[in-house]
Structure formats: C-alpha cells, structure tokens
Amino acid sequence: PQGIGSPSVYHAVIVIFLEFFAWGLLTAPTLVVLHETFPKHTFLMNGLIQGVKGLLSFLSAPLIGALSDVWGRKSFLLLTVFFTCAPIPLMKISPWWYFAVISVSGVFAVTFSVVFAYVADITQEHERSMAYGLVSATFAASLVTSPAIGAYLGRVYGDSLVVVLATAIALLDICFILVAVPESLPEKMRPASWGAPISWEQADPFASLKKVGQDSIVLLICITVFLSYLPEAGQYSSFFLYLRQIMGFSSESVAAFIAVLGILSIIAQTIVLSLLMRSIGNKNTILLGLGFQILQLAWYGFGSEPWMMWAAGAVAAMSSITFPAVSALVSRTADADQQGVVQGMITGIRGLCNGLGPALYGFIFYIFHVELNELPMPESPSGGSVITQYHLQQNSIIPGPPFLFGACSVLLALLVALFIPEHTNLNVRSSNWKKHCGSHGHPHSPQAPGEAKEPLLQDTNV
C-alpha cells in the first residue's frame, strides 16, 4: 500500500494532532474576529454557525463512513481534513466567507469517524479501547498546548502570523496523509471500481436513533446521554467567547484556562476514573459525574468573578468522567455482535447534540439580551471594570442564563440515570457470564444482587 510502513495507530494519531493543533492556534483570534464581524448578536450568530456545522456533520457522518467502508479510508481522511481546514486562511481574507465556509464545512467535518474506522481496521478487538483512548488523549493534548501558543504569538507578532502558521500546519497534515499514511482497509474488502453502490440504510443518519426505543435499558442510557451532552456541546461552543467578552479574560488567560482544564480532564479520565470504577461501580460513577456537571454549570451560571470560573473549571474536569463511564456501561449492556450498533446510537445522539446545543445556547443568550456594545480589551485576567459595566448594562443577577438551563437539563439526566440497572448484562449475556465464571474456576454460588461484583472489572479481556 502507498504510504510509509504498514498502517498503525500512530498514523491516525498524527493526523488528529495536526488538524486540531492548527485549529487550536486560532482560538484567541477567532473570538476577536467573531465579535468584530457580528457585534450586535455575537452569541446568537456563534450558536447558529456552530449549530449548522454540527447538524451537517450529524447528517453526513454515516454516509462518509459507509463510503469509506467501500472505497477505503485514506481518500476520505484526505477529504475530511482538507475541507475541515479549508476555512483557516479565509480568516484574514474575508471574515464573512470564513464563517460561511465553517458552517458548510460541517458536511466533511467528520475526521474522527474516519480515524476511528481506520483504527478499527488495524487493531484487534481487545486492543481497540486502548487505541481509541490514545486518539482521544492526543486530541486533548493538541488543545492543551495550541491555544496558549496561538495567544502568545498573536500578542507578540500579530494574528496574521498565527493564521499563516495554522494554514501551514493544515497543509502539513494534508501532505502527511498523501505521502505517509497507508490504506488500512484490506484490498479484498474494496470493490474493483469506485462505482460500488451503498444502501440507504448505511447512509441514513437516523437509522441508529430508530433503534433506541427497542430496548428499555438502552433507551434510558440514550436519554441520559442526550440530556447531559446537549448543554456540554452548547457550553463548548460559546464558553471561551463568554470568558473573553463577558468575564473579561485576556487571550492569555483563556489559553491558560484551556490548558489547565485539559490537563485536569486527562487526569480525571485516566487515574480518577479507574479508581472510581473499582471502588463505587459503573453506575455510581456516572451519577457522580453528572453531579459534578450540575455543580459546574450552576457555578458558571451564577459566577460573576474570574476566580469563580477557575474554580468551576476544576469541577468541570471531574464531570468529564461521565461519558467514558457511559461507554463502559453500554459495552456491558450489549452482546459482542451488537457493540457497534449500540455505540453508534450513542455517537449519533452526541452528533445531534453538537448541532442543537450551540444553537440553543446562542438563542438563550439572545433571549436574555446578553450582548456587548463594544469589544473589551482587558490587560489582566481580573477584568473587574468590564464585569461591572456588564452588570450595569444588563441589570441581571444571572450572568450566564444558558448555563443554568444546562444545569436543569443535567439534573433531569441524573434522575433518568437513577433508573438504569447496575448489572444490566446479566439478562443479556447470562450464559456467556456463567461460562466465563466456570472457565476461571470460581465455584461460588450466585451472589445476591447487593453483593454482586462488577463484571466489567472481573473480565480480564476488558
């Protein structure tokens, strides 16, 4: 196959790192350009742009995934990275075209889907979770480092240099795919021509969502994911703009906030998550993560000082354990031959939230008239004057209304999650579980429900 060496996870990791490092460099310049382009309805337009992008990604992800199953991964890695990074040079050429192309680029902004398929092609089933974790950790690492670098370069040399550097890194990523990345899909699985048909069922973005109601346990899990990830997606789209414009953070402070939050999240999703899964179990870990998320969103909503944002950010890192714990619970719920289907449902719901969440947050900001008359340029992260001016203009005791709405949504998710059974796999995979226990020589009699141990943690393969 074309490329350097045989297909490996490291090829996928480098592709992800370069793409999101390029975008991370533009964090601070994008916030400034966004407000300068839409000075009257900044949050609303930001929500609409990110919402259109998310919905297009949700609609196109199954089609691109199905096409890559037929025609190979490399060409679609090239396609998704090229169109995802296409808006970058337009930031300084034409801001209006920049945001328009960002919206439309959602059709191809599904690099993660193709990368996960690439990893699945070249790993055994027992290696896959670790490989996915490596890809996700690389994504987090790129966002930890790049915003701080972009903010520093922008302050010293100007935003134009940052845009040029981000464009160069995006081109480097494209060249790396062309030259170094080998095709992962075996030749025998690809048809002779590019005219091979695919079925509508493969390309239907709602196919996985239609199956949600067929199992009550899966339905509860999916509702929990929807109610908890909807505010998370909205928060991610607007929070850095909120820090910059409403809370008076400088570009360097926003970059430092992202870095600290990213590092704490990596620690929470590795060391802390492992300890919690072993000590309090899968379901209780999910409930604890949702509890942290409620506290974090409420703190963001009522916080009016920069130190409150930093404190709530530490809580936000702990709330990041929720989705890995949900994924583990889902893997226990489904049979081995249903893992892809059930995980696909969760991914589809998250894709839907990526479209609805930003638009919802932008609309709530608009309803509560959280807008700015001018672009504040604080020299320090304290930003007291900006915040005081904001409160005098708004006469509101709630600085961040969308975050309080998000806290209510996550509270509903917590109530739904209470009804998820702890040991769901016993009904689905009872025969396999008994066989597993017998093969390892555990002669003990069946335990009472209160004494049952975590099957996930007893399974040596996992």
pLDDT digits (tens, 9 = 90+) for 280-300: 887 888 899 999 999 988 888
Q: Which CATH superfamily is domain 1-184 in?
A: MFS general substrate transporter like domains (1.20.1250.20)
| Confidence (pLDDT) at 415 | 94
Given a cut of 80, whether residue 55 has pLDDT beyond it is yes
| Confidence (pLDDT) at 285 | 87
Whether the model pTM is above 0.95: no
**Nearest Cα to 146, choosing from 279, 276, 258, 285?**
258
Task: State pLDDT tens for residues 369-382.
Answer: 665 544 444 443 33
Mean pLDDT of 309-314: 84
Given a cut of 60, whether residue 167 has pLDDT beyond it is yes
Please give the residue that has the higher pLDDT: either 22 or 132.
22
**Nearest Cα to 134, choosing from 115, 113, 147?**
115
- pLDDT-derived band of residue 327, with 50, 70 and 90 as boundaries? confident
Task: Give whichever of 155-159, 205-209, 430-434 has the largest mean pLDDT.
Answer: 155-159
Given a cut of 80, whether residue 182 has pLDDT beyond it is yes
How buried is 310 (Cβ within 10 angstroms: 0-12 exposed, 13-18 middle, 19+ buried)? middle
| Confidence (pLDDT) at 212 | 67
Residues of the chain with pLDDT > 90, as a percent, come to 8
Mean pLDDT of 34-56: 81
> Which residues, at least 6 apart from 267, have a Cβ–Cβ distance to it below 8 Å?
317
Task: State pLDDT tens for residues 61-82.
Answer: 777 777 777 777 888 888 889 9
- pLDDT-derived band of residue 196, with 50, 70 and 90 as boundaries? low
**Nearest Cα to 375, choosing from 34, 26, 24?**
34
**Nearest Cα to 456, choosing from 349, 334, 337?**
334
Given a cut of 90, whether residue 401 has pLDDT beyond it is no
Task: State pLDDT tens for residues 343-395.
Answer: 667 777 777 887 788 888 888 877 876 655 444 444 433 343 343 344 334 44
- Give the whole-angstrom CA distance, residue 133 versus residue 304: 36
Torsion of CA 30, 33, 34, 35, to 10 degrees: 130
- Give the whole-angstrom CA distance, residue 455 versus residue 437: 10
- pLDDT-derived band of residue 441, with 50, 70 and 90 as boundaries? very low
248, 386 contact by CB (below 8 A): yes
Running DSSP on this structure, what letter comes out for residue 19? H
Mean of the per-residue pLDDT values of the chain: 74
Task: State pLDDT tens for residues 77-134.
Answer: 888 899 888 898 888 888 888 888 888 888 887 787 788 778 877 877 666 666 776 7
Residues of the chain with pLDDT > 70, as a percent, come to 73
Where does CATH 1.20.1250.20 sit in the chain? 1-184, 209-372+400-422
> Could you tell me which CATH number the domain at 209-372+400-422 has?
1.20.1250.20
| Confidence (pLDDT) at 342 | 63
Residue whose structure tokens are 């309080």: 404
